[in-house]
């Protein structure tokens, strides 16, 4: 149980953040994404503060090299996509996959605000099939995923299909943070995973994500949990 004094201190510290206008554009203040312009209301305050998922940021930055190709599955408003665009440089490429119109809008605004030219947005959810699927909204912009209980219809596509159509370059790094959709996304990318052996960063949000780890093991990957519910898989 958190002592009442600490709770009050937390409320006091959060109060100034609530006073920042949601429409304000502020440079990200710290971390490897420092300096990128960010719309305050696009996501939680930790994004523009640069404190969002600090450990994961560092692991992600260590995994991505100059000229790499990064697939950002569950790009949301684009925090990791922007970071990846800096890490890969002008000859690298970032493919951002995001199905929610709200997040897509902020993602595209962030790309434009920062005059980024090495990010391509796919307005869809990566899955094991091609067509449409049902998406269940979450409580906030960082939550929600494909679900039979969903009420929102979104476009879905497999990465193998998109690659076969010539829409994607071979991947070096896959980042998956798609609220339990990791298994289906990896099933839809089995040919890519087998052929190109990209490093995979997977957020564990549901039991099916552990099944995704099992699938990766069958493809010759080793699995390491670098912090609770955060997996890195390497071939």
Report which secondary-structure segment, H or E, holds 29: none
**Start-to-end Cα distance in the chain:** 42
Residue pLDDT, tens place only, 172-208: 999 999 988 999 999 999 999 999 999 999 999 888 8
- Three-class DSSP category at 210: helix
- The Cα–Cα gap between 178 and 105 comes to 18
The reported pLDDT for the residue numbered 14 is: 60
Domains of the chain, each with CATH number or no CATH: 54-234 (3.40.50.150)
Are the C-beta atoms of residues 116 and 90 closer than 8 Å to each other? no
* Backbone φ, ψ for residue 7 (5° rounding): -60, -45
Of all residues in the chain, the percent with pLDDT exceeding 90 is: 81
Mean pLDDT of 212-221: 96
Share of the chain above pLDDT 70, in %: 93
Please classify residue 60 by burial: count the beta carbons closer than 10 Å to its beta carbon, then call 0-12 exposed, 13-18 middle and 19+ buried: buried
Confidence check: pLDDT of 6 > 90: no
- At 12-39, the pLDDT tens digits run 446 677 788 999 999 999 999 999 999 9
């Amino acid at each position: 149980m958190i002592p009442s004094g600490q709770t009050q201190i937390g409320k006091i510290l959060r109060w100034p953040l609530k006073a920042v206008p949601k429409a304000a554009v502020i440079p990200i203040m710290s971390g490897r994404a420092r300096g990128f312009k960010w719309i305050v209301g696009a996501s939680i305050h930790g994004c523009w503060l640069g404190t969002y998922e600090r450990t994961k940021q560092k692991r992600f930055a260590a995994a991505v090299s100059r000229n790499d190709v990064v697939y950002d599955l569950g790009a949301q408003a684009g925090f990791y996509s922007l970071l990846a665009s800096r890490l890969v440089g002008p000859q690298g490429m970032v493919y951002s996959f995001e199905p929610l119109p709200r997040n897509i809008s902020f993602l595209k605004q962030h790309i434009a605000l920062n005059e980024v030219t090495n990010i391509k947005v796919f307005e869809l959810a990566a899955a094991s099939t091609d067509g449409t699927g049902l998406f269940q909204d979450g409580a906030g912009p960082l939550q929600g995923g494909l679900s039979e209980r969903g009420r929102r219809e979104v476009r879905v596509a497999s990465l193998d299909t998109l690659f076969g159509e010539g829409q994607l370059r071979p991947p070096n790094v896959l980042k998956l943070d798609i609220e339990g959709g990791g298994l289906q996304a990896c099933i839809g990318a089995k040919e890519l995973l087998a052929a190109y052996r990209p490093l995979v960063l997977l957020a564990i949000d549901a039991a099916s994500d552990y099944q995704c780890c099992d699938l990766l093991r069958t493809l010759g990957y080793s699995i390491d949990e670098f912090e609770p519910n955060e997996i890195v898989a390497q071939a």
